[in-house]
A and B are shown apart, each in its own frame.
With several copies, the nearest count.
Chain A
Amino acid sequence: MNLPLDLPPSETPEQAAAVARLYGEPLLSLPLDLYIPPDALEIILDAFEGPLDLLLYLIRKANIDILDIPMAPLTAQYLEYVEAMRASNLELAAEYLLMAAMLLEIKSRMLLPRPPRAVEDEDADPRAELVRRLLEYEQMKLAAAKIDAQPREGRDFEWIGVLVAEKVVERLPEVSLHDLQLAWLKIVRNARLNRHHTVQREELSVREHMTGILRRLGGGGFVVFDALFDRSLGAPGLVVSFLAILELVKERLVDVTQSAAFAPIYLRLSGHAADEP
């Protein structure tokens, strides 16, 4: 494949190169390494991580001083690749075209006579930004290689963790009453934003009885009303038990049935329609 060179018609590649001066010496021919066989393009495109990578390769292989890049041959070489890639219908990332435009712009700016007022030489060099990016990228590229070379668990070494003789009994978290209090404090504090929770001591006792009664009714069958009262609790206990039952009824957690007046009263969990006593 003959690669078209993006050079002015009057210039042969030799002339174009001769225009460039490397380290003060006229560059008569591009270093051989700058050329990559065109049929290797596909491999090359895969091998490079992007336009910066390709440019770095061209520069480093040609032993060009990165701080004084000969823009004309580099741009020509770069465009050659881009053109060839496009000609081979390889999927070319937009970044390669963007870089081509950037190189052409730098090249053309360097051809322009420098305005005399541009005193700050270095800043005026149109290549400065490109050089900065190339160097930063190269640094990260080398860093990537070093990180890859760094011994890595699983690939280069294994952590030692020999079996421990006895299986240690799993420790369960400790919870103190204080923890519970603090937890509740947080809840209340958050809830206060919406509404106020008032939970009183008596109510708690009722709630405890509610739980107890629900447990008694846990089987799903009927339990005689009287059996839910523990006489040893004394009058206050009986009242609380009764309040608990009322509360359960109110919250529709239990059903109360009585087949006839003065017949035994039965309770069961709501929703258990089956087995009558």
Chain B
Amino acid sequence: MQPTSPDDWKRVLETALLGAQAALPVSTLRLLFDQDPGPETVRRLLDELRVDWEDRGVELLQVAGGWRFRTRPEYQIYLDRLKQERAPKYSRAVLETLAIVAYRQPVTRGDIEEIRGVSVSQGVIRTLESRGWIDVVGHRDVPGRPALFATTRRFLDEMGLRSLTELPPLTEIERIMDLVDLPHTPPTERSAENVDQD
């Protein structure tokens, strides 16, 4: 097998991506070729590949770490039939804490409690930490030096997201909140899209 045409190289790309255990960035995929075709050509081939797979049960996705094949969510009900155990369901406490960390990061446990209006149990934090979705990125420089939590790269990967900006946009409530004239949140329309800059 000696690839010559673009289609041949697409096969090589496809094979590498199907066999990879992690997302592959374009910079790595360029190494597949006899002669580096440059990032643009690789991206074009990847786009073609994505289109080739469009009506299949598997799709090519661009995630945080690069490109990766995954099964389409519509097919999960069939795949679940083969599974021994179901994926864990998380409580609202866990999900709300995750949402606050994701959209407001970096946040302390106190920040989370302030927003939720209830205390956040250590178990909730530990659930998210042991899943590898959040971790401590520093400490706020106030008495007690509380830990600052942020979401991890793994969180993005497992959600199939390239960056925090791809999180579902916050509901427009924020716009209404501007009307309330918040003392410490400057009004912005783009804050939903700008979570990573918060």
Contacts and interface: CB of A to CB of B under 8 A. Distances in A.
The answer to whether A and B assemble together is yes
Interface of A: 49-53, 66-67, 93, 95, 99, 122-123, 128, 131-133, 135-166, 168, 171-175, 177-191, 194, 197-201, 204-205, 207-208, 210-211, 214-215, 217-218, 251-253, 269-271
B49 interface: no
Given A184-B96, A186-B92, A218-B137, 9 more contacts: A132-B177, A147-B102, A157-B75, A160-B68, A162-B18, A165-B71, A180-B102, A197-B174, A204-B103
Interface stretch (B3-11, B33-41, B79-87): B79-87
Contacts of A66: 176
B119 A184 contact: no
A174 B72 CA distance: 29
Contacts of A173: 87-90
B87 A143 contact: no
B190 interface: no
B1 interface: no
Interface of B: 17-21, 58, 68-73, 75-76, 79-80, 83, 86-90, 92-93, 95-96, 98-100, 102-106, 115-119, 131, 137-142, 145, 148, 150-151, 157-161, 163-165, 167-171, 173-174, 176-177, 179-182, 186-187, 191-192, 195-196
Contact of B83 (A52, A156, A161, A168): A168
B5 to A, nearest CB: 23
Contacts of A214: 106, 137-138, 148, 150
Contact of A50 (B118, B137, B179, B180): B118
A175 B155 CA distance: 10
B76 to A, nearest CB: 5
Q: Is the interface of A mostly helix, strand, loop or mixed?
A: helix
Which of B75, B90, B186 has the most chain A CB atoms inside 10 A of its CB?
A: B90
A201 B169 contact: yes
B58 to A, nearest CB: 6
Contacts of A166: 73, 76
Contacts of B145: 271
B116 A190 contact: yes
27 contacts: A49-B93, A49-B96, A52-B116, A137-B116, A142-B171, A147-B159, A154-B87, A156-B73, A161-B21, A162-B58, A163-B69, A168-B80, A171-B88, A180-B95, A184-B103, A185-B195, A186-B96, A187-B116, A188-B177, A189-B177, A204-B165, A207-B103, A208-B105, A208-B165, A211-B151, A253-B140, A270-B141
Contact of B170 (A154, A182, A199, A217): A199
A67 B87 contact: no
A142 B18 CA distance: 34
A189 B184 CA distance: 8
Given A122-B181, A161-B21, A147 B73 contact: no
A78 B179 CA distance: 26
Contacts of A198: 171, 174
Nearest to A202: B165
A269 B139 contact: yes
Contacts of A197: 115, 174
A156 B68 contact: no
Give me the 5 closest cross-chain CB pairs, A-B, nearest first: A50-B118, A155-B87, A270-B141, A158-B19, A52-B117
A60 B81 CA distance: 39
B159 to A, nearest CB: 5
A180 to B, nearest CB: 5
A168 B163 CA distance: 32
Contact of B118 (A95, A146, A163, A204): A95
A271 B141 contact: yes
